[in-house]
Amino acid sequence: MVERVAGSAEAKLLAAQGIRSLYSFLNTEDVFEILSISCSALNDIKRLVCLKADDDIYIVKLGCRASMQYLYQLLEQKHEEILKVNRMKFKQNKQSQSLNISENNHDSVEDSSKDDSTLSSQQQSSTTTTTTTTDCTNELNHHDSIINMLNEWIQKNCHAMNMSNSKLIGNQDFQLAIVSNGSSSEASICCSCGVKVQLTRVCFNFSLSNFYKHIRSKNCIMMKKKKITPNDADELNSLDEYELTDDTTSQAVSINELAQGSASSITIGHSVGTVMSLKRTHNIEQVAKKNVLSFKNFMKFVLVHFC
């Protein structure tokens, strides 16, 4: 375009300076200023654009300068037209966008309200699902932990509490209930005797001290049933005393004495006293009755076989 409007020499001058766009050309103050520099690369352009004086000074031809001015005016006018067109398009686009925005405001509000309601319902459902899963996991962990602590405590204290069994059975001797409320949980144990004990929270677990206090008290009917009764203790002690009386009786009446003594004058002097001295103080009467019966049976056996 520059070559067609201004000329080939002017086009070469612009190309030598790297002016290849409209904006670079319009922002250059004087395109002929570079010709004042002594440069071998510009000698050919100087011969086309300038006149060389006798004192070796180059003067720009007026026609070339006028062609550049015409080109500058033409491109500047074209640039202004382009800017006007762009401004008009921008205004039209802005007006159309404002109309579209005003028309779509109502629809967008309705859509946004629907989207918000849908999103909130989805969030609530997802939150509920997550909370339910977490609560179930926490309940299982707390349940196992409480059962393990209770069994360990019963095993350690069953002898001190005189229990016949070193284990409590869930849903029979007690019922454990755990309720999760979001980040917190509550636990309680209902004893089979009808007393409900609320467990206290300690850090991330529960303390069973309240339930331990209940089952160690005299009011817990469940523990009374599990304790060893006096009859059971007497039976165990009677077996021990029976074996002991047999041993002492066999020591008092030996086979040698029976062989040497007469059939009618067998004396067992100290057997009764020995038996009575070995009896325990807490069950003297019951053990004495059983020992007397055992002694009578022994005497019958002696009389039958040696008389």
Residues 157-169: tens digit of each pLDDT? 888 888 777 678 8
pLDDT value at 257 more than 50: no
If you search the block for the tokens 């969030």, which residue do you land on? 123
Mean pLDDT, the chain, rounded, equals 71
Token code pair at residue 92: 């039209």
Model confidence over 22-64: pLDDT tens digits? 777 777 778 888 888 888 888 788 888 888 888 878 888 888 8
Cα–Cα distances in Å, from 79 out to 21, 86, 87? 12, 11, 12
Model confidence over 207-252: pLDDT tens digits? 888 888 888 888 888 888 887 765 554 544 544 444 444 444 444 4
The percentage of the chain sitting over the pLDDT mark of 70, rounded to a whole number, equals 61
pLDDT for the residue 306: 61
Instruction: Round to whole Å and give the CA distance between 107 and 116.
Output: 14
SS (H, E, C) the chain: CHHHHCCHHHHHHHHHCCCCCHHHHHCCCCCCHHHHCCCHHHHHHHHHHEEECCCCCEEECHHHHHHHHHHHHHHHHHHHHHHHHHHHHHHHHHHHHHHHHHHHHHHHHHHHHHHHHHHHHHHHHHHHHHHHHHHHHHHHHHHHHHHHHHHHHHHHHCCCCCECCCCCCECCCEEEEEEEECCEEEEEEEECCCCEEECEEECCEEECHHHHHHHCCCCCHHHHHHECCHHHHHHHHHHHHHHHHHHHHHHHCCHHHHHHCCCCCCCCCCHHHHHHHCCCHHHHHHHHHHHHHHHHHHHHHHHHHHC
CA angle 255, 257, 259 (to 5 degrees): 70
Q: Rounded to two decimals, what is the model's pTM?
A: 0.35
Segment 107-127 shows an average pLDDT of: 64
Token code pair at residue 263: 């059939």
pLDDT value at 271 more than 50: no
pLDDT for the residue 17: 80
If you search the block for the tokens 């019963």, which residue do you land on? 154
- CA 277 and chain centroid, separation: 68
CB 246 within 8 A of CB 295: no
Q: Name 176's bridge partners.
A: 189
pLDDT value at 127 more than 80: no
pLDDT value at 266 more than 60: no
**Length in residues, the chain:** 307
If you search the block for the tokens 């925005």, which residue do you land on? 101
If you search the block for the tokens 């047999």, which residue do you land on? 246
Nearest alpha carbon to residue 191 among 209, 160, 168, 207: 168
Which has the higher per-residue pLDDT, 222 or 9?
222
CA angle 298, 300, 306 (to 5 degrees): 100
Token code pair at residue 110: 């309705």
The percentage of the chain sitting over the pLDDT mark of 90, rounded to a whole number, equals 1
Nearest alpha carbon to residue 272 among 254, 294, 255: 294
pLDDT for the residue 240: 46
